[in-house]
């Protein structure tokens, strides 16, 4: 009889070691027992033994063997995300402990949305680290759902994101940066010098869309929901700013994007923003922080970002209350 999920969990809790996870990940990524053994500093028989031990624990085959190496089974792909997360968490913890010991003033674990990174951190963080060389800032990119999950897991000290509908219990949101949607294009686009544009002026243009589900894509779809003619779309969809920038510069494309994402490129003349007749509103970007007193490093970065953006700090949007 096959073991139940509870039995498998108990086996892993009692017998699984980090070495099991390390070998699993290396085998999946390298596809070879020999190369995996080299990567983890073990012998090939040792790696094979670790794998056999893990397969016995889970009662499944984790890899198909073939002439050139190994290939993950569907069961292996089920386990890999957990194994990778464990190793990433271990690496981050080691980094934090090392930084705290060597730098003295500590570490700030920060998760930020794409908009917050491009609209705020690219300007603010170089100044912060210049003024605070003894503080290490660990930045990871993640949108709202990723941030809420990271908060729930206790993985971060600060978050930079759009104003959420509900702030997690024990946390507060402080607005740092006002924002708006804009239509961006190359500086030499035929429409870049015109004023008071509306949707009729944009008819016939080719658009670079944002990914489905993003705030920019929702706004774009709403803009053209009642358009008389079909909107022409470039068949590239990306969240990557560098790729967006290259495509806009090399082709006569338009894109709807938060202004803060492209502001630094507009400032240096690499991109332009069309002068639209109507406003295109968007939620502000702000700082998500715990209500409880922060450590020295977290507190310093928080106060720096507040001063950098010139937004007086308030505590009126916490304790899990919905925004009105």
Claim to verify: residue 206 and residue 149 sit in the same structural domain: no
**Helix (DSSP H) and strand (DSSP E) numbers for the chain:** 13, 11
Kind of pairing between the strands at 171-186 and 281-290: antiparallel
Domain CATH number, residue 10: 1.10.10.10
In a domain, 324, yes or no: no
For residue 98, the model assigns a pLDDT of: 64
Check residue 316 and give its pLDDT. 40
173 and 190, same structural domain? no
What pLDDT, on the 0 to 100 scale, is given for residue 125?
95
Tokens 């670790």 correspond to: 50
User: Tokens 């080299």 label which residue?
Assistant: 38
Same domain, yes or no: 64 and 33: yes
Residue 238 confidence (pLDDT): 86
**Is 321 a domain residue?**
no
82 and 222 belong to one structural domain? no
Number of structural domains found in the chain: 3
The answer to whether 294 and 108 have CB atoms below 8 angstroms apart is: no
* Residues 37 and 70 sit within 8 Å (Cβ to Cβ): no
- Residue 316 covered by a domain: no
Tokens of 275: 């002068």
Q: List residues bridging with 175 in a β-sheet.
A: 286
Domain end, chosen from 30, 59, 89, is at 89
Which pLDDT value is given to residue 62? Answer: 92
- Res 321: pLDDT: 39
Residue with tokens 């715990």, as numbered in its chain: 290
Token pair of 254 as six digits: 């338009």
Cα separations in angstroms, 19 against 35, 36, 85, 92? 16, 12, 14, 17
As given in the structure block, the two tokens for residue 197 are 């544009």
pLDDT of residue 97: 65
Give the 3-state secondary structure of residue 94.
helix
Strand 136-141 and strand 107-112: pairing?
parallel
C-beta of residue 181 within 8 angstroms of C-beta of residue 282? yes
Q: Would you give per-residue pLDDT tens digits along the chain (324 residues)?
A: 566 777 777 877 888 888 999 999 999 999 999 999 999 999 999 999 999 999 888 888 999 988 888 999 998 998 888 888 888 777 777 766 665 554 445 889 999 998 899 889 999 999 999 999 989 899 999 888 888 888 888 889 999 999 888 899 999 999 999 999 999 999 999 999 999 998 888 888 999 998 887 889 999 998 888 776 778 899 888 888 889 999 999 999 999 999 998 988 999 999 999 999 999 999 999 999 999 877 889 999 999 999 999 865 544 444 343 333
Q: d(Cα 156, Cα 113) in Å, to the nearest integer?
A: 13
Domain boundary among 64, 89, 114: 89
Residue 193 DSSP code: T
The verdict on residue 36 lying in a domain is: yes
Q: Are 51 and 23 in contact (CB under 8 A)?
A: yes
pLDDT of residue 322: 35
* CATH code of the domain in which 142 resides: 3.40.190.10
Residue 311 has a pLDDT of 65
Domain that holds residue 108: 94-177+285-309
What pLDDT is attached to residue 324? 32
pLDDT for res 320: 40
Regarding pTM above 0.85, the answer is no
Integer CA distances (angstroms), 129 to 104, 107, 110, 256, 260, in order:
14, 12, 14, 32, 21
Burial of residue 217 (number of CB atoms within 10 Å: 0-12, 13-18, 19+): middle
């Amino acid at each position: 009889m096959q073991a139940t999920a509870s039995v498998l969990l108990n086996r892993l809790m009692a017998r699984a070691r980090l070495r099991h996870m390390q070998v699993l990940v290396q085998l999946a990524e390298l596809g070879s027992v020999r190369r995996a053994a080299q990567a983890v500093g073990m012998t090939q028989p040792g790696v094979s033994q670790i794998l056999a031990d893990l397969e016995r624990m889970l009662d499944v085959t984790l890899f198909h063997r073939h002439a050139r190496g190994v290939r993950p089974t569907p069961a292996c792909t089920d386990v890999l995300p957990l194994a990778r997360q464990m190793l990433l968490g271990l690496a981050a913890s080691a980094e934090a402990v090392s930084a705290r010991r060597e730098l003295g003033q500590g570490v700030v674990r920060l998760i930020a949305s794409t908009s917050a990174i491009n609209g705020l951190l690219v300007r603010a963080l170089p100044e912060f680290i210049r003024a605070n060389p003894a503080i290490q800032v660990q930045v990871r990119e993640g949108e709202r759902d990723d941030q809420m999950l990271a908060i729930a897991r206790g993985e971060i000290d600060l978050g930079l994101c759009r104003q959420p509908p509900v702030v997690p219990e024990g946390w507060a949101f402080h607005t740092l940066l006002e924002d708006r949607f804009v239509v961006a294009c190359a500086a030499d686009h035929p429409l870049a010098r015109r004023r008071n544009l509306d949707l009729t002026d944009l008819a016939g243009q080719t658009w670079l869309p944002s990914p489905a589900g993003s705030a920019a894509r929702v706004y774009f779809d709403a803009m053209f929901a009642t358009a008389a003619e079909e909107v022409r779309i470039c068949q590239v969809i990306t969240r990557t700013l560098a790729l967006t920038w290259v495509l806009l510069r090399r082709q006569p494309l338009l894109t709807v994007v938060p202004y803060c994402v492209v502001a630094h490129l507009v400032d240096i003349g690499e991109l332009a923003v069309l002068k639209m007749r109507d406003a295109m509103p968007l939620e502000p970007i702000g700082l998500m922080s715990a209500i409880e007193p922060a450590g020295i490093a977290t507190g310093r970065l928080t106060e720096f970002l507040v001063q950098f953006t010139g937004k007086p700090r308030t505590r009126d949007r916490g304790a899990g209350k919905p925004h009105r």
